[in-house]
Amino acid sequence: MKQGTGIVVAIAVTVLAAGGGYWIGTRGIGEHSAATVAQPTAAAPAGAKKERKLLYYRNPMGLPDTSPTPKKDPMGMDYIAVFEGEEDGEESAPGSANQIKISTEKVQKLGVRTEAASLRTLDKIVRAAGRIEPDERRLFTIAPKFEGYVERLHVNVTGQAVTKGQSLFEVYSPELVSAQREYAIAAQGVQSLKEAGGEAQNSMKQLADASLARLKNWDISEEQVKALSKSGEAKRTLTFRSPVNGIVTEKKAVQGMRFMPGEMLYQIADLSAVWIIADVFEQDIGQVKLGAKTQIKINAYPGKVFEGAITYVYPTLKAETRTVPVRVELANPGQLLKPGMFAQMELAVGEKAKVVTVSVSAVIDSGARQIVLVQLKEGRYEPREVKLGARSDNYIEITDGVKDGEAVVVAANFLIDAESNLKAAVGGFGHSAHGAAPKADAGAENTAPAAKGASHQAEGKLEAIDAKAGTVTIEHGPVASLKWPGMTMDFALANSGLIGNLKPGATVAFTFIERKPGEWVIIKLEGTGTARPAAHSGH
């Protein structure tokens, strides 16, 4: 009996304890509900992920448009959530969606190096290949003005050096002999009629003057004319002499040959000064000025530098090489410079005023635009489109986009990509730096939109081509890197040559980038030859 009573008492105590606990728990919830709600995160396991704070929603097409609540754009695409931690302080503003954020570890691993943009005086060397040519103003041709025969050669080797007045060759001409006799007779007649005076003397004098003019017109030297006047005897041959000190560059005269009036028998070049004709590339010709001093290097004389000045810039461009010839005049003492030699011209050019410059390696050229990465602080970078000016061997002028003192990225292995420097840069940093949601965990697939400026790939059907506007209309499938559904939209072409032989209706694969907010430009387009399921039209 006692045992049964004990069991009943134990049951009663248990029921009372449970009821009291329920009452106390109910009261505690009523009094401390706020504290209870605030504790789940603290009570969660240490390894659980902390809840992120939502900042705003940004436009999925990269436009400067945000919303505090979820919404869709005109094409029906969801706005993308931006959470705290992805952007902080002033960088969490809507305009910072194109910034790139990477860890300090990754900066060191990739070998990122920065250098401050600074004011410099750009010194550039314009280099051009050239060749040595004779000065055209120092070329002389020996061509008799009458018909005759080469009687004797005094200079009979091409390349022989001659001095001014040296005998070159002797000629015989019946016409020349006849002219000499006419002059000799006329001269004697003038002497005979010297005392007579009157009309007869005047007529004879006119005849003598006409004969003398005829001989002079045939390039008979004054010395030979005087000898003829004095002796009164016509010489059978006439000697031609060199008009200048120089080199015989061409000799067509052969002893005994017959020549006609105006036929070139010798060509003599005065090589005391020569020309350098250098071919300057089209992009450098604007920096070449008349009178500029240049340095000339010749392969035949290593270590020796010749100095000259630019005397003429030719008015035409060679379409085959895209170069413009320029002329440099050089003195040639000792005749070391020989026509036909190759030469290298170096012309120092540069701006006198200081300009904002960055290292040449800092500029990322996507083909459609030029960009530099500006370091905002450690681990955070901003791609900026810049306008370029003058360029030297190591530095380039920035006319717009970067200020003096700002740090820009000048070296990183990931910036070098044969396909696209810009694509490689953004791909190496990761998409989460541009305002897209980060990965949920290490094993999850990152489906956030790609950074602005990166390239994207898609396939579709070519609907229309507007050659005049430089655009195409494509019905394309989903674009995973942008979280786009399939749609029909217009794209600009980087250049009209991308179309090739493609016609509307062709299935194509293409690569495109965002040149500026909302403007999508195709940089690669090719036909696939395979059918693709139709996509839903977006706009």
What is the DSSP code (8-state) at residue 137?
G
Structure tokens at 45: 């396991």
> 536-539 long-range CB contacts below 8 Å, 24 or more apart?
536/485, 536/486, 536/487, 537/475, 537/487, 537/488, 538/75, 538/76, 538/484, 538/485, 538/486, 538/487, 538/488, 538/489, 539/74, 539/75, 539/487, 539/488, 539/489
Average pLDDT for residues 497-501, to the nearest whole number? Answer: 84
For β-strands 370-377 and 380-385, DSSP reports them as antiparallel
User: Quick one: pLDDT band at residue 433, thresholds 50, 70, 90?
Assistant: very low
Strand order in the sheet with 387-391: 118-120, 355-359, 395-400, 387-391
pLDDT exceeds 80 at position 51: no
Chain-wide mean pLDDT for the chain? 75
Closest CA to 329 of 125, 128, 132, 140: 132
Structure confidence by residue, pLDDT tens digits, 138-149: 999 999 988 999
- Among the ranges given (223-227, 248-252, 290-294), the one the predictor scored with the smallest mean pLDDT: 223-227
Specify the higher pLDDT residue, 443 or 161: 161
What letter represents residue 324's amino acid?
Answer: V
CA distances from 111 to 105, 116, 421, 431 (A): 10, 17, 16, 19
Strands (E), 299-428: 305-313, 323-331, 342-350, 355-359, 364-365, 370-377, 380-385, 387-391, 395-400, 407-411
Query: Which parts of 111-159 fold into alpha helices (H)?
Result: none
Question: What pLDDT is recorded for position 192?
Answer: 73
Which range has highest mean pLDDT (172-176, 259-263, 441-445, 515-519)?
A: 259-263
Question: What pLDDT is recorded for position 61?
Answer: 59
pLDDT exceeds 70 at position 478: yes
Model pTM score: 0.48
Which range has highest mean pLDDT (130-134, 365-369, 491-495)?
A: 130-134
pLDDT exceeds 50 at position 295: yes
Residue 10 phi, psi dihedral angles, 5° rounding: -65, -40
Overall residue count recorded for the chain in this entry: 539
What is the DSSP code (8-state) at residue 84?
B
Question: What pLDDT is recorded for position 175?
Answer: 84
pLDDT exceeds 60 at position 227: yes
User: Quick one: pLDDT band at residue 412, thresholds 50, 70, 90?
Assistant: low
Average pLDDT for residues 277-299, to the nearest whole number? Answer: 90
User: Quick one: pLDDT band at residue 153, thresholds 50, 70, 90?
Assistant: very high
What is the DSSP code (8-state) at residue 318?
B
C-alpha dihedral over 159, 165, 168, 169, to 10 degrees? 170
Would you say 83 and 92 are in contact if contact means Cβ atoms under 8 Å apart? no
Q: Kind and range of the H or E element at 15?
A: helix 2-31
> Residue for token digits 């300057």?
280
pLDDT exceeds 50 at position 34: no
Specify the higher pLDDT residue, 273 or 366: 273
Burial (Cβ within 10 Å: 0-12, 13-18, ≥19) of residue 58: buried
Specify the higher pLDDT residue, 5 or 394: 394
Most distant pair of Cα atoms in the chain: their distance: 197
Average pLDDT for residues 464-490, to the nearest whole number? Answer: 88
Question: What pLDDT is recorded for position 114?
Answer: 85
User: Quick one: pLDDT band at residue 91, thresholds 50, 70, 90?
Assistant: very low
Between CA 373 and CA 361 the distance in angstroms is 11
Between CA 315 and CA 296 the distance in angstroms is 22
Question: What pLDDT is recorded for position 364?
Answer: 79
